[in-house]
Chains A and B, each alone.
Chain A
Amino acid sequence: MKPKFKQISPLICEFEWESNVSDLLLEEQLGFKSALEKDFSAELCELRMGFKTVSVLFSKPRIDFEIKNWLESISLEKSTHSLPEKIWEIPVCYASETGRDLESLAKTKKISVEELITLHSKPLYRLHFYGFLPGFMYLNGLPKTLHTSRKSVPDREVPVGSVAIGGVQTGIYPSSSPGGWHLIGQTPLPLFNPSLDIPVFAEVGERIKFTPITFQEFEHLKRNPKPPKFR
């Protein structure tokens, strides 16, 4: 399905799909993104992904009928990408010491802490795009039972590496920041390194698996950082 096109300013335009957030839509978005990169390479300043959008920042003003014509001319079947197979393992210490809302969240959900940990660490989460903070992954796949509205009063400081639940999403804070999500654990893994050419390890489309670790393992990995494992 082709996205709707919207010119927002002389330099910004957006393509939006009406379908629900899914792997299939992400495949379409990625295929569409590479078509844009190929056909507009000289004028593309930046592409920003959303759950249902691809937004473009051009380096010089564009006329919208040119893009409309382009949109009509492309064939998307051919450009559809299959998503990568790689799965990253992210060690998480689910404990009160590392996730201050773990117990209260389990209580609200009327499940045990162990059940909450199993529910959260069992699925494979799909990385759709980065945003919010440098290195913050927007993940899809949080089980319905764990959907929880954000805190009405955000925390002033969420510690770096915090694994949290907010709305229909789960995510990891790559740096400490204010935040309104419920904190259930922490990863010792550094998620963003600005001195690297590619400052993150996971690529859009790859999957994330949270692996529970003990507090001792967490402390040990904090002191002796290891690169993330994948399969």
Chain B
Amino acid sequence: MIRDIGYMKILKTGPGTSIQDLGRVGFAQFGVPSSGTLDLRSFAWVNHLLQNEESDAALEICQPGLNVKFDAPTLICLGGAKVAVKLNGNVLSNPSLLPIQANDLLEIGSMEIGAVLYLGIKNGFQAEKMMNSRSWFEGITKSGSAKKEQSIPYFTIQEIPKMTASKVKLDTSWLQEKIIAAYPGPEWNLLDKDSQEKLESSEFTISDLKNRMAIQLTELLPNNIPEMATSAAFPGTVQLTSGGRLLVLMMDAQVTGGYPRILQLTEHSISLIAQKKPQEKIIFKLKKL
């Protein structure tokens, strides 16, 4: 089947907009981060509604304020954060699946609930594939994050399907959960009792230092753990720095680290913490294996 290429042009974007899929598995042996979608739950939902493959690439938006223009017909789907959306100037309430015509202008405004939005497209964005993944990562793919005037290819569709599912309501209630479930990390037992208790009983705040590599928490935790030899780290690993800072590693984090790893988030909690805005509070809850 011959498929025509269309382009989505970025007219305006904040920092932290990128193409993501399920990430690159198997390249950590060369020091390559996992990458891939921060909120797997919302990403999977978007591809599901579009009847896409699980691994089809979507645009991940981590800051409010994105304008894009499509040059050919397609079907898109928004999921994740609850956002203000306009299509050709008209406000859309509860946007989910949206048929797109040539020259349509989509404007994403403020994020009411949540911090990460997915813009999925029928058959996925056709950004270059490097090391089995289309996920953008500086130094591996040409782009690290989306820039103004950049065009991202997709396969156009000739017929807009009948929109039976268009009224599917996006569930955003889970985005307000506060509990971050985590397994004890490899160095949990080296943490003194006071710090363990503090970690389990206190609220922690998401700081402004939040990106695809890590989320730094505002509160400090005393750290008396001796220096350790560099070992593996994974998305969802919570590191405790020598200065007592808590770093929740995300998808673009380095594959190894030298700080004690005190927690390992569950998959759901990785999605959840990614959706938290700076200043929002979380509570860790230890989970047994």
Contact = CB atoms under 8 A, between A and B. Distances in A.
B256 A14 contact: no
Given A9-B289, A194-B140, A134 B231 contact: no
A57 B29 CA distance: 12
B183 A8 contact: yes
Contact of B130 (A45, A47, A194): A194
Nearest to A199: B30
B173 interface: no
A200 interface: yes
B270 to A, nearest CB: 11
A81 interface: no
B232 A48 contact: yes
Contacts, number: 105
| Chain A interface, >50% SS class | loop
Interface in A122-147: 129-136, 138
A134 B139 contact: yes
A130 B31 contact: yes
A137 to B, nearest CB: 8
Interface residues of A, number: 39
Nearest to A4: B186
A68 to B, nearest CB: 13
Contacts of B286: none
A46 B130 contact: no
A189 interface: no
Interface string B13-37: 0000000000001111111110000
B34 to A, nearest CB: 8
A135 B229 contact: no
A50 interface: yes
B43 interface: no
B256 A48 contact: yes
B254 A138 contact: no
A50 B231 contact: yes
Contacts of B140: 134, 194
Contacts of A131: 28, 31, 230, 254-257
A191 to B, nearest CB: 10
Given A14-B231, A51-B231, A130 B29 contact: yes
- Which among B31, B32, B236, B264 has the greatest number of chain A C-beta atoms within 10 A? B31
Nearest to B254: A132
A151 interface: no
B185 interface: yes
B254 A10 contact: no
Contacts of A129: 29, 256
A206 to B, nearest CB: 14
Interface string B217-236: 00000000000011110101
Contacts of A174: 31
Contact of B31 (A52, A55, A57, A133): A133
Nearest to A33: B29
Given A9-B183, A134-B140, A194-B139, A14 B232 contact: yes
A72 B30 CA distance: 30
B234 A57 contact: yes
A55 B257 CA distance: 13
- Which among A9, A46, A133 has the greatest number of chain B C-beta atoms within 10 A? A9
B266 interface: yes
Interface in A50-90: 50-53, 55, 57, 64
Contacts of A45: 25-26
A45 B132 CA distance: 14
A10 B265 CA distance: 11
A209 to B, nearest CB: 21
A164 interface: no
A48 B253 CA distance: 14
A52 B138 CA distance: 29
Nearest to A129: B256
A163 to B, nearest CB: 17
B186 A9 contact: no
A7 interface: yes
Given A9-B289, A194-B130, A194-B139, A52 B231 contact: yes
B125 to A, nearest CB: 19
Interface of B: 25-33, 130-131, 138-141, 183, 185-186, 229-232, 234, 236, 254-257, 264, 266, 289
12 contacts: A9-B236, A9-B266, A52-B231, A131-B28, A133-B254, A134-B140, A136-B31, A138-B230, A138-B256, A175-B138, A199-B32, A200-B30
6 tightest A-B CB contacts, nearest first: A131-B256, A50-B231, A48-B232, A55-B232, A130-B31, A51-B229
